[in-house]
Amino acid sequence: MRVDIVTIFPDYFGAGAGATGAGPGSGGVSGPGRPSEAFGGVGPLGVSLIGKAGARGDIDFRVHDLRKWATDVHHTVDDTPFGGGPGMVMKPDVWGAALDAVLADAGTPGRLAEAGTPGRLVVPTPSGVPFSQDLAAAYAKESRLIFACGRYEGIDSRVVAEARTRLPVDEVSIGDYVLAGGEVAVAVMLEAICRLLPGVLGNERSAADDSFGGGVGEGGRMRGLLEGPVYTRPRSWRGIEVPSVLLSGDHGVIARWRRDESLRRTAAVRPDLVSRVAADPDGLDARDREVLAEAGFPVGGENMAH
Ligand code: ADE
């Protein structure tokens, strides 16, 4: 997978002066991005599983400094909003030039719709659709993702409108709060996406057993639910014992216990998720309904409360 990130803070991603980009007239993106291993353990792209995947070449990260496409001496990227109001809006001409160059770097001039695999442009914004495990799994199947990090009051809306004529574009929010810019949101999304790529997680089964059951395929046993409690050695710690069922060696019983715990935790802290799973005809079995009823959350049949 190739990942391009356009930002005014390449340092945030550990790219610093190594960020790619070229000013107008110099032919757009100036060549391959800083090799991922050059992130050298720095920033969210350089550490942990993502850092290793980048170093192996499984993910080709390219970080671009938006200011390289600003034409004035101060490298201005923002201006006051039409219609008045507080804050500044990012300029369409600067973003347009940046996206033209980054998209053209796919090797196809002009309209990318004709190019086979234009990839997908993802614009983090609090006004976007909610990011989710399902979206992470969908993005993990793309061969190229381009992230456009806004700052201030956002990017002039014509940039997304124009980009939509050329490639799929998603405006995505990572939660109902306002960050100072899209960089942290991109780091969050990339962590969720990249761990789903083949070979990144090491143990492929763990993604399916996660909260939300987030595999790239059908989704795992925990689909739509939160993960329950986990334990490791020692068996007894500060007087607290590991639940004996986990020591039983009976995989069927253990799997059922884990699902029961998941259902209890989900009912306690995210009843909205239980309602969603319950609405799926294949979402809950008879034992699930029993556990939820015991947890004070009756679903299904004549007990349908949610
Ligand atoms: N930019 C600012 N706030 C954001 C949010 N909640 N999600 C995504 N991008 C953002």
At 219-232, the pLDDT tens digits run 567 889 999 999 99
CB atoms within 10 A of CB 58: 16
- Indicate the top mutation candidate among 122, 173, 186, 191 to test ligand 1's pocket, ranked by most ligand atoms within 8 A of CB: 173
> What's the distance, Cα to Cα, between the start and end of the chain in Å?
41
For ligand 1, atom 2, name the residue with the nearest CA.
Answer: 179
Q: Which residues are catalytic?
A: 126, 153, 195, 210
Average pLDDT over residues 167-176: 98
The answer to whether residues 69 and 23 touch, using CB atoms and an 8 Å cutoff, is: yes
Q: Say yes or no: CB of residue 220 within 6 Å of ligand 1.
A: no
The answer to whether residues 160 and 182 touch, using CB atoms and an 8 Å cutoff, is: no
| Centre of ligand 1 from the C-alpha of residue 203, in Å | 31
Banded pLDDT at 216 (limits 50, 70, 90): low
| Centre of ligand 1 from the C-alpha of residue 177, in Å | 7
For ligand 1, atom 4, name the residue with the nearest CA.
Answer: 126
Q: Is 211 left (phi over 0), alpha (psi -120 to 50) or beta?
A: beta
Question: To the nearest whole number, what is the mean pLDDT of the chain?
Answer: 87
Q: What is the position in ligand 1's atom list of the atom closest to the CA of 150?
A: 1
At 79-91, the pLDDT tens digits run 999 999 999 999 9
Q: Say yes or no: CB of residue 99 within 6 Å of ligand 1.
A: no
DSSP helix/strand/coil, 147: strand
The answer to whether residues 35 and 15 touch, using CB atoms and an 8 Å cutoff, is: no
Q: Say yes or no: CB of residue 186 within 6 Å of ligand 1.
A: no
